[in-house]
């Protein structure tokens, strides 16, 4: 005869995302000053189909370039990991280990007119150890229209987004299996820093 074990009761496990202040205007300028106008590339999306990964050019329209740690002080990653660690401890309590710069480096995304990213999740067969995703607003909300980061809530009609999601310098952290999207840009340009925190696979 088998007896069930009582599970740990994490009441925050269903929280879709957490927004918090992360960057000052000075931090954002330091990041933007490291961007190279000649290194923007069209962002690609790999879609799993019949146990194979194919490039999907319809799901996302954006340009990107990777961002590695500053050699002097590792900026901006010490403060990013510190904030995410605190958020994780207060909400999901996942087993987190590292950001990998070898094959899953954080990137800056540039969404121009028509830029978008359709509904998707960030963990996959090729990136199964992604546990938490994060997006940092590098643009002021008045710099663009559209381009909203939205999370699926089971209803076709999306709820009104809280203002902190579009606030310049905010970090939005969410489990990598959460469905989310970027709505099409209708005016201006939106810049965002996106990355992933890895850890052991779910059990």
Residue 193's pLDDT band (cuts 50, 70, 90): very high
137 three-state secondary structure: strand
Using only C-alpha atoms, what is the Rg of the chain? 17
pLDDT computed for residue 48 by the predictor: 59
Each residue's pLDDT tens digit, 56-87: 667 889 999 999 999 889 999 999 999 999 99
What's the distance, Cα to Cα, between the start and end of the chain in Å? 23
48 close to 128: Cβ distance less than 8 angstroms: no
Q: What is the mean pLDDT of the chain?
A: 89
Tell me the pTM: 0.89
Q: Span 87-92, mean pLDDT? A: 95
Residue 184: Cβ-neighbour burial (10 angstroms; 0-12, 13-18, 19+): middle
Does the pLDDT value for residue 45 go beyond 80? no
Give me 140's structure tokens.
């002021």
Distance CA 118, CA 61 (A): 9
User: What is the separation of C-alpha 121 from the centre of its chain, rounded to a whole number of angstroms?
Assistant: 10
164 three-state secondary structure: helix
pLDDT computed for residue 12 by the predictor: 78
Q: Span 108-115, mean pLDDT? A: 97
Strands (DSSP E) contained in 78-189 are 107-111, 116-120, 130-137, 144-146, 149-151, 170-175, 180-182, 185-188
Q: Using a CB cutoff of 8 Å and minimum separation of 24, what contacts does 39-46 make?
A: 39/65, 40/64, 40/65, 40/110, 41/65, 43/107, 43/109, 45/117, 45/120, 46/124, 46/126
Residue 5's pLDDT band (cuts 50, 70, 90): low
Residue 138's pLDDT band (cuts 50, 70, 90): very high
User: What is the separation of C-alpha 40 from the centre of its chain, rounded to a whole number of angstroms?
Assistant: 19
Distance CA 48, CA 129 (A): 16
Helix (H) or strand (E) holding 54: strand 52-56
Give me 79's structure tokens.
């403060």
What domains lie within the chain, and their CATH numbers? 18-198 (2.60.120.620)
Q: Span 188-195, mean pLDDT? A: 98
pLDDT computed for residue 51 by the predictor: 52
The proportion of the chain whose per-residue pLDDT surpasses 90, expressed as a percent, equals 70
């Amino acid at each position: 005869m088998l007896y069930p074990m009582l599970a740990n009761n994490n009441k925050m496990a269903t929280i879709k995302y957490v927004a918090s202040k992360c960057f000052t205007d000075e931090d954002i300028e330091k990041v933007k000053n490291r961007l190279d106008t000649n290194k923007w590339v069209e962002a690609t999306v790999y879609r799993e189909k019949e146990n194979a990964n194919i490039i999907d050019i319809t799901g996302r329209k954006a340009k990107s370039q990777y961002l590695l740690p500053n050699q002097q002080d590792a900026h901006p990653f010490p403060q990013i990991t510190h904030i995410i660690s605190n958020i994780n401890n207060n909400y999901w309590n996942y087993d987190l280990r590292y950001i990998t710069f070898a094959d899953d480096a954080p990137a800056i995304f540039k969404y121009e007119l028509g830029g978008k990213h359709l509904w998707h999740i960030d963990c996959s067969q090729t990136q199964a150890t992604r546990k938490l995703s994060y997006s940092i607003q590098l643009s002021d909300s008045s710099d663009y229209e559209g381009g909203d980061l939205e999370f699926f809530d089971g209803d076709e009609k999306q709820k009104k987004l809280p203002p902190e999601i579009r606030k310049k310098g905010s970090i939005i952290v969410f489990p990598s299996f959460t469905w989310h999207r970027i709505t099409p840009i209708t005016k201006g340009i939106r810049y965002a820093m996106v990355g992933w925190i890895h850890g052991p696979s779910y059990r």
